[in-house]
Every structure is written in structure tokens, then in C-alpha cells.
Chains A and B, each alone.
Chain A
């Protein structure tokens, strides 16, 4: 557990310093833990675990857009689990249940426990369709077609800077739409 937390903290520090590959690895590493905790939270609230992937994506978006609130000198896991807990409570509340979510749901997850397969998520995909065309095209090109920023810029005859702006605005408005739904 301790080693895992230290590894996450190290990856996040590199990510903040601009290392996108470290950031990618970090998000990949935390997802199964978040997924297991979301499933457990849903199960305990007596709800279908089908929605767990929506919650995982919700958490990942919040982590991404709020990562400047992480103190680089602090461990990463407590910060991550605070966001995850907040998002899980929000999700359960939105589905009409007030429920106590134990922080240990996240902290005590064992790595081997998490199922490897990802369930399908629909909320992000649905909200994606409501974005302005340019943002949607850029997001789809990078997410679905796995195109780089450079390739995306070439495809839509945009500058790389404009692609980056559209990408970030798209992610931010996607998150706002998910929050208000």
C-alpha cells in the first residue's frame, strides 16, 4: 500500500512537471482502484454496478481539472480519494440516495481485487454529443481515433495551439455538463 502510494505520488509529481507519459501511467494505475471502490459504493447503496464506469470517468475528469489543488509536497492518495469520495457521494445522491461513503473503501482496495475489464460508460459519450462541433471533433479525434495533437491539427487544418485550447475547453465543459445533469 505504502509503495503504491509513493509510486503514485512520484508519477503525479512528474506529471505536474510536464511528463504526459507519467500522467498517462498514473491515470491507468488509479483507475482499477477507483472502479473497485465505485462498485463497492454502488453495491452497498443497493444500486446496480452498471454505472460504476460513469463514476470512474467522472472522478478522472475531476482529478484532471483540479490537479492544481494538489500540493506537490503532500502524498497523492489522500487527495485522490477525497475527490473520488466526493464524486461517488454526488453520483449516489443524484440517483436519489444519501449514503455514507467510507474513505476506507478507497484506501483498502487491494490491487488484485479489481476486475480488469471495463464496463461501458455512457454519460461522457452522451454529453460529448452536446459540445460545440469543433470541441467535439477534437475530443473525438484524440480519444476515439487516438490521433496526436499534431495529427488532429493537420486533419482539421487548425494550429496545434488551437487544438490544445479546444481540447481543454471541451474537457472543462464536458465536466460542467456532467455536474449539472
Chain B
């Protein structure tokens, strides 16, 4: 087939107009979310004292951190789905959850505490945290990658890593409502390790799946 023939064929297909990447990502996330929710409610569930916990600002701050991560990662993912886009100018969005977490740690430092720092950081649920967040992330990550395949990222591995951050942020939001460790130090240690693991899986998968 010579190039003129190919061009004629492409022009004939111009009537087919694809939906924007944001639409595909949203559909894929909506399809994947029930799987993670099912995992959450069958295996973990919301902590029983949630009504009291909500009065603790450090319990609420966990959601601020995880949702800031998820929202920033969604925005960066959509930006990176364009072939000419780079992280420059958008990457700073990902610092939002880090900033909130740092402020929360500072806040906790200034308050009198019953438990020593190390005890608060090590917590009681580190192992659950390290397994539950990645496991609940996987369906969301699969959905995010399927949605982002509609895009054309210049760096598929980086786009995949951001998709990993996105799914870890959403999974961690679920997990935060189960976990009784509310110290920002616990979040900074274990949530971060769990998130980094999912980002690494996302990078590996993205390098294969997000090439266009």
C-alpha cells in the first residue's frame, strides 16, 4: 500500500471520532471501582468507631492526603496522555499530598502526645496497610491503564507510574477509613511504601501497555 492510498483510507475514516481520554479514563475507573470496593467491604470494612474518629483531625487529614494524591495524579495522567506533554509545569501538583502530610506531621509534633514518636510511626497495622493498599489498587490500576491507552503519552513508563499513584491514592482513601493508625507519621511511612510499590508496578505495566 503506498502512502497516498493510506492517506485516502485514513481520510475515509475521518467520520470516526474518538472520545477524549478523560472520558475513557472515567468510564474505566467507574468500571474498576466496584471490584476494589468489594474487596474492601468483604475483607476490611470501615472501622467501628468511625463516628468518633471523624472528630479527630488527624483521621480526617489521612483523607486529605490520599484524595489530594488521587486528584493530582488524575490531572497529571490526563495531561501526560498528550504526545507533546511533559511533567514540567504539571509535576508540582504531585507535591500537594506531600505538603499536606508535612504540615500534618508538623501539627502533630506541636501537640502533646501520649505515645512516643516511634510507636506512632510503627503503629499496629503496618502489614495490613502494606498489603491492603496495593491489592485494592490493582483493579483500579488495571482500569486506569485501560482508560489511558486511549491517550498517547511520550513516556509510557512515567505515565504508568502516575497511573499507579492515582490508583494507590484511591485505594488508600478506602484503607484510611479502616485503619486505626491516624498519626501522620504512620501515613508518611507505610502509605508511602505501599504507594511507591503500586507506582513501580504501574511503571512496569505502563511501559508495555501505554505505548502507542
Contact = CB atoms under 8 A, between A and B. Distances in A.
Interface string B1-36: 111111111111111111111000000000000000
A15 B9 CA distance: 14
Chain B interface secondary structure, helix, strand, loop or mixed? loop
B98 to A, nearest CB: 29
Interface of A: 15-16, 18-21, 23-24, 27-28, 31, 53, 56-57, 60-62, 64-71, 78-79, 81-83, 86, 90, 118, 120-121, 124-125, 128, 139, 142-144, 146, 148-149, 164, 167-168, 171, 179
Given A71-B82, A82-B154, A121 B14 contact: no
Which secondary structure characterizes the binding site on chain A? helix
A82 B1 contact: no
Given A68-B17, A171-B9, 17 more contacts: A19-B14, A20-B14, A66-B83, A66-B212, A70-B82, A79-B82, A83-B83, A86-B154, A86-B212, A120-B2, A128-B1, A142-B12, A143-B8, A146-B8, A168-B13, A171-B10, A179-B212
A61 B83 contact: no
A79 B152 CA distance: 10
A168 B16 contact: yes
Interface of B: 1-21, 81-84, 150-152, 154, 211-212
A167 B3 contact: no
Contacts, number: 116
Nearest to A70: B82
A149 B12 contact: yes
B37 to A, nearest CB: 30
Given A62-B212, A83-B152, A144-B1, A167 B9 contact: yes
Q: Which 3 A-B residue pairings sit nearest by Cβ, starting from the closest?
A: A82-B84, A24-B11, A82-B83
Contacts of A149: 12
A79 B16 CA distance: 20
Nearest to B23: A68
A83 B81 CA distance: 12
Contacts of B152: 62, 66, 69, 83, 86
A30 B2 CA distance: 15
